[in-house]
Amino acid sequence: MNDVELLNKVGELNEKINSLQNELKPLQKEFNSLTSELIEGYQFDESLTRIENDNFCMLITKKGFVRNNYSYKKGFENSLSKVNENTRKVLQTELSKTETETFVKPKFEIVNKMK
């Protein structure tokens, strides 16, 4: 395929994907709301692993829970203002040693010029 054909194919696929995503959004929202409502009553019943009726069976493979998260970066940055200059330099040097490089995929938008 040449570039023109490739761009046409990518454009067509992009339009199909966008159309399906737009159809999926309200369904996903309704699904999330209903499953939250369904599970809410059983959230703390440790013995329950399934909810079923004549048509469907919902297997609960992992219970929901609350977890505390810590931001080590924010804590580190806050602590830099509370130490002396020499310690700050050492800590900043050590921090720079942990720097890594990652590839960020390009983002693009495909616009149908025919519409």
- Predicted confidence band at 48 (pLDDT cuts at 50, 70, 90)? confident
Output the DSSP codes for 2-19. -HHHHHHHHHHHHHHHHH
pLDDT for the residue 110: 66
> What is the model's pTM?
0.54
95 in the same domain as 47 = no
Whether pLDDT at 115 is above 80: no
pLDDT for the residue 20: 97
| Enclosing domain of residue 14 | 1-64
* Number of domains into which the chain is organized: 2
* Residue linked to tokens 């399934």: 50
Residue 109 lies in a domain: no
